[in-house]
Amino acid sequence: MNKLNRRRLALKLLATPLALSVPLTSALAQDKKPMKLLVGFPAASISDIVARLLAPHLGAAFGRNAIVEVKAGADGQIAAQDLIRQPPDGGSLFVATNSPLQAVPAMRQPPPYDPVTDFSHIGFIGRYVHFLLVTRDASFNNVTELFAYARANPGKLNVANGATFQKVATAQLLKDTNTQMNEVSYKGEPAALTDLVAGRVQVMICSQGVALEFLKDKRVKALAVNATRRSPFAPEVPTLVEAGLKPIEVVPWVALIGPPGMSEALVQQLNQALRMAMGRDDIKEQLERIGIEPGVSSSAELRQLVIDQLKIWQRNVKELGLAA
């Protein structure tokens, strides 16, 4: 699949019409044990919040309770490997992100699992919105000024990385703009953003859910947003493309994943339940507030996105020398 078709697929995932609510009947509805939604990052992380938003609606679609179980660590790898060991009955699902499904198999050798064959792909939930941030007292007010300064002062700026997507996205931006910055790695976005506010680093790509309050309080400045459209919470900030930069090839996303071997009928039932939940205005509004551009997809479309994005991650990791 070429770049144009990949972008069309990504846009389609964001624009797929949401299904109307209809009753669901399946063997899953006969089991009254709580459904379990695994999360690969700490409590209060964006994926944890997404899981807690969707859990009651996914459970209710089958007449069951649904609980969120946090298995944080190793960029989501721990939760992913736990899911692989679960029975394919829909009782255990994974609110997965690009980190365990793309970054881990692309950056770790040998890969601990295959994101295409070792999981059942249920449906897309949305893509993360990220801002390109700088310190509030920075002399540059747009990306042109930022990268012109960086080229004139190689190695003078420190750029923070708090997650796998940011590491690859930052490396791509530096390569595309022929600039050099000192990359500083953190265990999570909050710590990186704290140092950005303090001025110990000057640049950072940060998810909207973490950055929004800092932007509102004007403790940092946003020069661009990595999204298909401007954020309604910061409409004055241009997209990367509007700012004259290439779009980031790796897509930061969140989706519903099941263990391997699930039946096609069960996958479709779960996909329909996800569509029902995503069709709620309150869910869409809350997702947008935490920096998720909501969108749903078929199982096949999600699987294709995983295939395409894995190739992009593998190429970027190799070209940029980012293997763990």
Pairwise CA distance, residues 133 & 218, whole Å: 11
Given this model, what pLDDT does residue 3 score? 44
- Nearest one of 108, 90, 91 to 99, comparing CA atoms: 108
Given this model, what pLDDT does residue 29 score? 60
In DSSP terms, 207 is beta-bridged to 130
Where do you find CATH 3.40.190.150 in the chain?
3-127+250-320
Given this model, what pLDDT does residue 18 score? 38
pTM (predicted TM-score): 0.84
The CATH code that applies to domain 130-226 is: 3.40.190.10
Pairwise CA distance, residues 299 & 45, whole Å: 25
Pick the CATH number of 3-127+250-320 from 3.40.50.150, 3.40.190.150, 3.60.9.10, 3.40.50.800: 3.40.190.150
- Looking only at the bridges linking them, the beta strands covering 292-294 and 253-258 are unpaired
Pairwise CA distance, residues 9 & 11, whole Å: 5
Q: Give the per-residue SS3 of 26-45.
A: CHHHHCCCCEEEEECCCCCC
Given this model, what pLDDT does residue 131 score? 96
Tokens at 198, concatenated: 């303090």
pLDDT tens for the chain, residues 1 to 324: 444 444 444 434 433 333 333 345 556 666 678 999 999 998 888 899 999 999 999 999 999 999 999 999 999 999 999 999 999 999 999 999 999 999 999 999 899 999 999 999 999 999 999 999 999 999 999 999 999 999 999 999 999 998 889 999 999 999 999 999 999 988 888 889 999 999 999 999 999 988 999 999 999 999 999 988 899 899 999 999 999 999 898 989 999 999 999 999 999 999 999 999 999 999 999 999 898 999 999 999 999 999 999 999 999 888 888 876
- Nearest one of 137, 136, 182 to 160, comparing CA atoms: 182
| Length of the chain (residues) | 324
Say whether the peptide bond before residue 154 is cis (omega within 30 degrees of 0): no
DSSP assignment, residue 239?
Answer: B
- Nearest one of 181, 233, 183, 184 to 207, comparing CA atoms: 233
Given this model, what pLDDT does residue 27 score? 60
Where do you find CATH 3.40.190.10 in the chain?
130-226
Given this model, what pLDDT does residue 324 score? 60
